C-alpha cells in the first residue's frame, strides 16, 4: 500500500468510529445509512466517483425484492444517491451540499434519479435492478 492508501484507511476507520460514537449519542449531524459510512473521494486513476456505484439485491424468501443501489454523479454536480427498493426510499448526498443529506420519497428508481437532477443538478448513473 502507498502512504496515501494507508492514510485513507486510517482516516476512514477513524471516521467510522466517530460516526458510531455520535450515533450512540443521537448527534444530528453524523450518522450511517444502512450501517454504511460513506466517504466521498476521487477515484485514484479516473478522478471520478464511479467506484462508489453498487447494486445489491436480496434473494431471501422473506425479502424477495430487497436491496439498494448506490449511484454516483460527476456532472454537472458531484454527489451520490442511495435508493432502497423496499420502502421505495432514497437519500441524496451532494458533495459539500447544505443540507448534506436529503431524504427522498420517490416511488421508483427513475423518479429518484430525476429528483436528484431537478433538486441538485446531479446526474446519477450506475447499475439498475434487472
57-88 residue pLDDT tens: 777 777 777 788 889 898 889 888 999 888 88
For 111-126, what is the mean pLDDT?
Answer: 94
Q: How far apart are the C-alpha atoms of 116 and 40, rounded to whole Å?
A: 17
Q: How far apart are the C-alpha atoms of 97 and 9, rounded to whole Å?
A: 24
Residue 56: other Cβ atoms inside 10 A = 14
pLDDT at 129: 76
pLDDT at 22: 61
Q: How far apart are the C-alpha atoms of 30 and 18, rounded to whole Å?
A: 8
Q: Can you give the pTM of this predicted structure?
A: 0.69
Spell out the domain ranges in the chain: 1-32, 44-130
Amino acid at each position: 500500500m502507498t502512504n496515501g492508501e494507508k492514510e485513507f484507511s486510517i482516516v476512514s476507520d477513524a471516521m467510522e468510529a466517530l460516526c458510531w460514537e455520535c450515533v450512540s449519542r443521537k448527534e444530528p449531524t453524523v450518522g450511517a445509512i444502512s450501517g454504511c459510512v460513506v466517504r466521498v473521494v476521487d477515484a485514484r486513476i479516473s478522478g471520478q466517483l464511479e467506484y462508489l456505484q453498487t447494486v445489491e439485491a436480496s434473494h431471501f424468501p422473506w425479502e424477495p425484492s430487497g436491496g439498494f443501489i448506490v449511484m454516483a454523479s460527476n456532472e454537472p454536480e458531484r454527489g451520490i444517491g442511495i435508493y432502497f427498493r423496499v420502502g421505495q426510499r432514497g437519500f441524496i448526498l451532494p458533495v459539500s451540499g447544505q443540507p448534506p443529506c436529503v431524504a427522498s420519497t420517490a416511488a421508483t428508481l427513475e423518479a429518484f434519479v430525476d429528483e436528484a437532477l431537478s433538486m441538485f443538478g446531479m446526474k446519477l448513473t450506475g447499475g439498475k435492478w434487472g
